Each structure stands twice: as C-alpha cells, then as structure tokens.
Amino acid sequence: MTVEFNITERNINSEAAAIDKRAMLGAKLNEGRFIFHSDLNNFYASVECALDPSLRGHPVAVCGSVESRHGIILAKNNLAKKYGVKTAEVIWQAKQKCPDLVLVPADYEKYSKYSRRARQIYYDYTDRVEPFGADEAWLDITGTKGIHDFESAKKLADEIRDRIFTELGLTVSIGVSYNKIFAKLASDYKKPDATTVFSPDKYGSIIADLPASDMIYVGKSTETALARFGVHTIGQIASLTESFMQSTFGKSGVFLLRNARGEDTSPVVRESEFEEIKSIGNSSTAPRDLENDDDVRMMCWMLAESVGTRLRRHGLKCRTVQLSIRESDLKCRDHQVRLKEPTDSTRVIAETAQSIFRSVYDWHTTVRSIGIRVTNLCGADTPVQISVFENERERTRKDLSIDKTVDNIRTRFGKSSLQRAVVMCDSKLTGAKVK
C-alpha cells in the first residue's frame, strides 16, 4: 500500500517553524565546529590536463581500456560536460554526443600522487583530515588559529583553494559548515572552483529546500522510497518523526533523519585513526567471457595473488573466503566458505575460490567477472592448530616460503617480474586488470 502525505501550503507553513527549531538543535550540538569538505573538481581529467597542456581547451574524458571491456567514461572535464558527456556511460555514446572528445586512458598512479599532494596542503592547516576517496576529504579546522566564525573559515577555505590551483594546477570546491554532512552538501552546491558556506542561518533559506537526493547516503532507492510518501526535500525529511523513519527504514532511517536535521556530530577521523581493516578483496571484468573451469582457475589465481599479497603486507590472515560471480547477462551471485584455520596463503585462497565456484556454478551461461574477498580477519600471529600430518605441515611451510619470496621479488623488481605458470595459459586473460 502506498501512503501519500498531504503536503499543502498550510502544512508547509506550519512545518517551517518546526523545521527551523529542529535545525537549531543540530546547530547547538555542533556549536563552535568548523568543518570543510574539499572536492577536487573533475579530478582525473583535471590531472591529465594539468600534466599535458595540449589537452587544455579540448573536451577531455578519462576512460578505461576498450580492449579490456572497461570502455566507459570514468571522468570528464567541464568542456566535455557541456556536450552532455556523463560519467559511467560507454565510450561510443559519449563520442556520439561529442565527436571531438579526446580520450585519455586512466593512470591511477598519477591520480594517487596528486591526491597525496593535495592532502599535504590540507595538513599544513590541520592534522584532522579524513580522506573520502582520492578526490575528496573532510577537514576539521575547529580551534585552528584565527578561526573564530564562518567568515574567517571561508577566508581559510579560499586560501586552500588558491594553493591547490597554484601548486597543483587543479581547481577545488570547498564546503564550509558545522558538520560533515552539510559541509559535503555545501561543496556540491556550487562547482567548479567555489567556496560555499552553510552556516546554521542557511538552513531554512537554502538547505531545507534542497532535493533529498543531494544529501550524502541518499541513493536512488532511498530517494524513490521517500518519494512514495511525498517526501522530496531535506526539509521534508527533517519534518518526519523518528518513529515513522524507524518503522519505515529501520536504523538507517533514523540516521537519515538526524542528518537532515543537522544533528550529525561524527568526528573527522584522522587517517591514522581509521577502523581496523574488516576485509580485503579484488574483482575484475575479464577481457573476454569466461567459458570453462580453466578460465575461472586463471582468474582466481590472479585475484588471489592480489588479495594474499595485501593480507601479508598488513600482517593479517583470513578465516572466510567469499566469491562473487557476475554472469554475462550481469546477474550477480555471492557465496562464501569458512576455513578450518586462518590463512594468508595465496594457494589456499585461490583453491578455495575455485572450489566454491565448482560447487555452485553449472555453466548455464558464460561468466563476465569474478571477485574474491576475504573476511573475518585476524593477526598473522594468531595461534592455529598444528596438523598431525607431516605432509600438510610441510605444504603450509612451503606456501609461506614461496609467498614471502614472491612478495620480496615483486617489491624489488615490480609486480610483473615474476608470474605463476597457471596465469600464463591464455595471453588474453593474463591481460585482465587486477590491481
């Protein structure tokens, strides 16, 4: 049954005061806080244009490799955006809209370098920096010398924007507010190259009227669900009751309600304070559809190499191996197995993933992509039951020796310096993008 709120002019007027009153509570909870959200504009494309002046003045898009079936737009500059080029659309569609579109292959090492350089600038002003992807970050400048109101906070944001442009050649939009949710809302409000302040007095005049979908954590499904009840703006979310949001959306509904009222008090988390790693995984779309168990074996080994290496790098072992399968018609399925003993062995992870696949898949259609994720992590020094079988103890010892040797060689000479024979059986699949 669909329920519609009767949102009349009278209701809107009567709710306005209540919304402002609730917003005052959010401002009170965050009194004295000054939070920035910094968003590097059109990041990938902007980095490419900064490094290659010949690209400037042209519509530019960063894309994946067509040959590896990653032929989609990952980022575009403002000139490409004017032609209607969109992120995540396939290349041929983008070229139809903009025949002169210049395509540049993605280079994540370059983007990581620029991301780190931007963060170094942020650290000149505060040590409370929380990355949110490569191109975004929250900064807590509360207590920073000279910051005592939103006007002085805006001046500091403008200074950071100037430095990003001067030192990196990139533009950035910075939102300034009293909590993380509204700071991000502010940075999205005006782009590119802008500072936007959402102080408490802007709630009734701007924030409350913004679409619900503008607020972080409101995805398409949540937006659709809210619309069924006639709720389309942040202010309308704020006017709902906690009991309604709890019964309709569960805990996430209450979280959403408090965010809409400005009651988010979550701290800006320093990089060194991030929660411990909960899982490690990797997935890849194959250069061609996987057609048999041998194809899957190759992909599982390539992915397990990545996952196992990262486990050992972090000094961790896993107790559970998960396998995700995406079929050629894009249907997805996920399965997992709990191991008898925790492991960081590439072989164990690869063979477990293959075993899962064989037990659940009947080859009714080809497979487009495979993913491996390990969870239930523990320290590498976690005690394990020693096998009573000599051959099993010896195999475990050999696994550890081989993995450590391979890790050392690749660290010194590069990832491709040493490859297992199993991943060399098909030259096309060997070219799968596995980070």
Q: Which contacts qualify for 219-227: CB closer than 8 Å, 24 or more apart?
A: 222/249, 222/256, 225/249
Weakest-pLDDT range from 154-168, 261-275, 318-332, 420-434: 420-434
The catalytic residue among 48, 136, 263, 305 is: 136
pLDDT given for residue 8 in this prediction: 40
Percent of the chain residues topping a pLDDT of 70:
86
Beta bridge partners, 324, equal 334, 371
Range 52-60 average pLDDT:
94
Q: Are 292 and 363 in contact (CB under 8 A)?
A: yes
Q: Determine the Cα–Cα distance for residues 28 and 179; give it in Å rounded to an integer.
A: 11
Q: Is 136 a catalytic residue?
A: yes
pLDDT at position 326 over 70: yes
Weakest-pLDDT range from 16-25, 128-137, 320-329, 339-348: 16-25
pLDDT at position 188 over 50: yes
Q: Are 184 and 216 in contact (CB under 8 A)?
A: yes
Q: Could you tell me the two tokens for 49?
A: 């244009």
> What single DSSP character describes residue 58?
S
Q: Determine the Cα–Cα distance for residues 24 and 39; give it in Å rounded to an integer.
A: 27
Range 3-20 average pLDDT:
46
Nearest Cα residue to 38 out of 186, 169, 143, 145:
186
Nearest Cα residue to 284 out of 82, 140, 432:
432
Split at pLDDT 50, 70, 90, the class of 403 is confident
Residues whose CB is less than 8 angstroms from the CB of residue 259 and which lie 6 or more positions away in sequence, other chains included: 181, 215, 216, 217
Split at pLDDT 50, 70, 90, the class of 276 is low
pLDDT given for residue 91 in this prediction: 87
More confident residue, 55 or 270: 55
pLDDT given for residue 6 in this prediction: 42
The DSSP line for 30-48 is TTT--EEEEEETTHHHHHH
Q: Determine the Cα–Cα distance for residues 36 and 141; give it in Å rounded to an integer.
A: 7
Helix (H) or strand (E) holding 129: strand 129-131
Q: Could you tell me the two tokens for 367?
A: 């497979």
pLDDT given for residue 13 in this prediction: 45
Q: DSSP alpha helices (H): ranges in 89-142?
A: 91-97, 108-123
Q: Are 76 and 61 in contact (CB under 8 A)?
A: yes
Quick one: CA torsion of 164, 40, 213, 241, rounded to 10 degrees?
Answer: -50
Residues whose CB is less than 8 angstroms from the CB of residue 327 and which lie 6 or more positions away in sequence, other chains included: 333, 365, 366, 367, 368
Mean of the per-residue pLDDT values for the chain?
Answer: 86
Split at pLDDT 50, 70, 90, the class of 4 is very low
More confident residue, 338 or 17: 338
CB count in 10 Å sphere of residue 24: 14
Q: Is 424 exposed, middle or buried (0-12, 13-18, 19+ CB in 10 A)?
A: exposed
The DSSP line for 218-264 is --HHHHHHHHTTT--BHHHHHTS-HHHHHHHHTHHHHHHHHHHTT--
pLDDT given for residue 144 in this prediction: 92
Report CA torsion sign: 24, 30, 34, 37.
negative
Highest mean pLDDT among 19-23, 268-272, 320-324: 320-324
Q: Are 292 and 354 in contact (CB under 8 A)?
A: no
Range 168-173 average pLDDT:
97
pLDDT given for residue 304 in this prediction: 94
In this predicted model, what pLDDT tens digit does every residue of 126-167 receive, in sequence order?
Answer: 999 999 888 999 999 999 999 999 999 999 999 999 999 999
Residues whose CB is less than 8 angstroms from the CB of residue 229 and which lie 6 or more positions away in sequence, other chains included: 3, 4, 5, 248
pLDDT given for residue 210 in this prediction: 96
Beta bridge partners, 363, equal none
Burial 236-259 (b: 16+ CB within 10 A, else e): bbbbbeeeebeeebeeebeebbbb
Strands of 367-379's sheet, edge to edge?
Answer: 280-290, 367-379, 316-327, 332-343
pLDDT at position 312 over 60: yes
Residues whose CB is less than 8 angstroms from the CB of residue 83 and which lie 6 or more positions away in sequence, other chains included: 59, 97, 98, 101
Q: Determine the Cα–Cα distance for residues 160 and 173; give it in Å rounded to an integer.
A: 10
Percent of the chain residues topping a pLDDT of 90:
60
Split at pLDDT 50, 70, 90, the class of 315 is confident
Split at pLDDT 50, 70, 90, the class of 12 is very low
Q: Could you tell me the two tokens for 323?
A: 């396998």
pLDDT given for residue 92 in this prediction: 87
In this predicted model, what pLDDT tens digit does every residue of 199-245 receive, in sequence order?
Answer: 999 998 899 999 999 999 898 888 999 999 999 999 999 999 999 99
pLDDT at position 76 over 90: yes
Cα angle 352, 357, 361 (rounded to 5 degrees) comes to 160
